[in-house]
Structure 1
């Protein structure tokens, strides 16, 4: 079994992100590995086709600030330093691959909602990360909180 040196945990900032962080941190701790968090925020222009006749800059800035705050909130109990918390704007799978390559990551941890059927096993971001990754990818099954 390989020993990981840098674990990148990709989170979507939902309430279930803590489950993904806990699993990734446990693996990092067992391996003495560096741990980083990433959330990739799609630009509003992507979501709305770029044909909106209005300036979305202030809304995008607010979304980015909210995401930074949420990442910090999730990272705090796990003692993940600010310089290892990454918010990137772009297509999530591409940004995760780029950061993983730039940082020398050897394990990417993503969440999976475990829907039925092979095509629904992973969400679109998780599937994109899995298919384009140059390192190991761990899909953590999200458990419903009762």
Structure 2
């Protein structure tokens, strides 16, 4: 086949550290290798908008307490599963579409790779809205087995 007509320069991979995240990470790394692109990862944790009323009333900010551990887990996941240089790792908190778009803008990523279960649930978190209608870059959905 001829030369690739579309060249991606920065690929952002959305993960959630679930069992299927390795498949998504490997697909992103393979694409980055094929294009000679930068590779970054983003994981979006639920923010206060996703917390229950009881958690808010009790003043529990769970994200502040677990963030260092989640960052370590994310770094270990990437180290264990990706054999391509990683430019950046972003652990965000809040509404997924908004946070992913912030990282896309900050990194100038031109392709987002995310997973999608065959039963139409979004892999990177269960949200009421799909990424497809809201991301500001190209989007590749990796089909995952339904659990």
Tell me if TM exceeds 0.5.
Answer: yes
Using the alignment, how far apart are the partners of 2:49 and 2:60 within structure 1? 8
Is residue 139 of structure 1 aligned with residue 141 of structure 2? yes
Using the alignment, how far apart are the partners of 1:141 and 1:106 within structure 2? 20
Using the alignment, how far apart are the partners of 1:46 and 1:27 within structure 2? 32
Give me the CA root mean square deviation: 2.5
1:144 Cα shift?
6.3
8 A contact 1:88–1:95 mirrored in 2: yes
Q: Which residue of 2 aligns with 1:35?
A: 39
Structure 2 residues without counterparts, runs of 5 or longer = none
Using the alignment, how far apart are the partners of 2:121 and 2:10 within structure 1? 26
1:86 Cα shift?
0.7
TM-score by length of 2: 0.81
Using the alignment, how far apart are the partners of 2:78 and 2:56 within structure 1? 35
1:93 Cα shift?
1.4
Q: Compared with structure 1, are the counterparts of its residues 46 and 143 closer, same or farther at alpha carbon in structure 2 (3 Å cutoff)?
A: closer
1:126 Cα shift?
9.8
Q: Which moved more, 1:61-70 or 1:13-22?
A: 61-70
**SS, match of residue 132 in structure 2:** helix
8 A contact 1:37–1:84 mirrored in 2: yes
Structure 1 residues without counterparts, runs of 5 or longer = none
Query: How many residue pairs align between the two structures?
Result: 140
Deviations 1:43-66 (A, max 9, x none): 245321477321213x32233223
Following superposition, which runs of at least 4 residues in structure 1 exceed 4 angstroms of deviation?
79-83, 121-127
